[in-house]
Amino acid sequence: MNVLVTGGLGFIGSHTVIALHQAGYTPVIIDNLSNSSEAVLTQLSKITGHSFEFYRGCIGDDALMQQILTDHNIEGVFHFAALKAVGESTEQPLAYYRNNVSNTVAMLETMAKCGVERIVFSSSATVYGDPQYLPLDEKHPISSTNPYGWTKVMVERVLQDYCAANEKMLAIALRYFNPVGAHPSGELGESPKGIPNNLMPYIAQTAVGIREYLNIFGDDYDTHDGTGVRDYIHVQDLVSGHVAAFDVHVKDSGFHAYNLGTGQGYSVLDMVKAFSSSAQTEIAYKICPRRDGDVASNYADASKARQILNWHAKHDLKSMTDDTWRWQTNYPKGLE
């Protein structure tokens, strides 16, 4: 089956392209390269021995998308393309609503014209807003604390309403917890442009000497060591969750939401310690004030995905830090 991967040269999309190929699908990629590099295509070929069809362009470009969907007989869309920086979304909300919401609506209209009735959407645990209870299950109330998060809430709403109005439409929203790690080959990983916002790439850049020290945002939370606790999930587990969800629901319709997390929380200091052990080096850090918008703890109840998709995360913390370190040492500045 031919499928389109939007944002397929980005961090999670590129790993999913490999998994889809290995599962027997034929993925075609569209990416506007706003947060990725065409060099990822070479890495994908290196890892799989296969060259993938790639279109440089925007998912909101109706003519281009019609051409791709019809020329390649696309039967499903894995939709990763989005802007994803929380802080930037507060400064430039319109750019986020246009790219993440308006362009997704435009893409759904093009899909409707071409008879494509399946979508897997990259949602986020950010749709749970400030946790009212832990672990977070899919029934937790939906909310957000920033424009990026609201774009995920809005697209989920659009997908639910669209499925309700179109009995053949299938939409699967996968709510990721904290994706980390890299491809075990060391040839593909996350290469954020500029200063990383997220913990794992920041630690990796500190370990390799690009950053002097890690700022730890608060050590006075109500957690086992005072630093924030999150549910880190290896990108390879995340992508196997996409394949499992699509395989299970491919003949279904309606809206389905799943948490993709491990259910296990680790603190910032746990992550520093695990990374130090993988990199065999001390990671310098300073304790700083709390970051606005952060909560003490956040982790998943992933039992719905286990029961219905027969999926669970298999990679432990050591493989998350080992794989990130291998990628970071191979490509300290990312792919250029």
Give catalytic residues, as residue numbers: 148
Mark out the alpha helices in 32-146 (DSSP H runs).
Answer: 39-48, 62-71, 86-91, 93-96, 103-113
For the segment 110-139, give every residue that binds ligand UD1 (CB under 6 A).
124, 126
Question: Residue type at 296?
Answer: A
**Residue of the chain from 2, 90, 143, 198 that contacts ligand UD1 (CB under 6 A):** 198
Can you tell me which of 149, 179, 181, 241 binds ligand NAD, judged by CB under 6 A?
A: 179
CB of 310 to ligand UD1, least distance (A): 26
Cβ-based nearer residue to ligand UD1, 84 or 183: 84
- Cα(119)–Cα(231) distance, integer angstroms: 25
Q: Return the ∠ at Cα 195 (arms to 193 and 201), rounded to 5°.
A: 85
Tokens found for residue 208: 């390799």
- In eight-state DSSP terms, residue 116 is -
Question: Residue 110 or 259: which CB sits closer to ligand UD1?
Answer: 259
The 10 Å Cβ neighbour count of residue 310 is 10
The answer to whether residue 84 forms part of the interface with ligand UD1 (CB under 6 A) is: yes
Residue 228 binds what, of ligand UD1, ligand NAD, none (CB under 5 to 8 Å, by partner type)?
A: ligand UD1
Distance (Å, rounded) from C-alpha 124 to C-alpha 208? Answer: 29
Helix (H, G, I), strand (E, B) or coil at 202: helix
Tell me if 249 sits within 8 A of 256, measured CB to CB: yes
266 near ligand UD1, judged by CB under 6 A? no
**Residue 92 binding partner per list ligand UD1, ligand NAD, none, with a CB distance cut-off of 5 to 8 Å that depends on partner kind:** none
Picked from ligand UD1, ligand NAD, none, the partner binding residue 215 (CB below 5 to 8 A depending on kind) is ligand UD1
Phi and psi dihedrals of 296, rounded to 5? -65, -55
Choose the binding region for ligand UD1 from 2-10, 58-66, 102-110, 287-295 (rule: CB under 6 A). Answer: 287-295
Question: How many residues in the shown chain lie near ligand NAD by CB under 6 A?
Answer: 27
What's the rounded Cα separation, in Å, for the pair 75 and 114? 10
Write down the least CB distance from residue 257 to ligand NAD, Å: 13
Q: Does 110 bind ligand NAD (CB under 6 A)?
A: no
Binding ligand UD1 (rule: CB under 6 A), the pick from 230, 234, 242, 326 is 230
Instruction: Establish if 27 lies at the interface with ligand NAD (CB under 6 A).
Output: no
- Name the 3-class secondary structure at 198: coil
Inter-axis angle of helices 235-249 and 11-22, nearest 10: 50
141 binds ligand UD1 (CB under 6 A): no
* Nearer CB in complex with ligand UD1: 187/190: 190
Shortest distance in whole angstroms from residue 220 CB to ligand NAD: 25
Q: CA–CA separation, 5 vs 76, rounded Å?
A: 9
Tell me the one-letter amino acid at 236: Q
215 binds ligand UD1 (CB under 6 A): yes
Q: How far, in whole angstroms, is CA 323 from its chain's centroid?
A: 17
How would DSSP label each residue in 259-308?
A: EES-S--EEHHHHHHHHHHHHTS---EEEEPPPTT--SEE-B--HHIIII
Give residues in contact with ligand UD1 (CB under 6 A). 84, 86, 124, 126, 149, 178, 197-199, 202, 214-217, 228, 230, 268, 291, 293-294, 298
Applying CB under 6 A, the residues found at the interface with ligand NAD are 6-7, 9-13, 30-36, 58-60, 80-82, 84, 99, 103, 122, 124, 176, 179
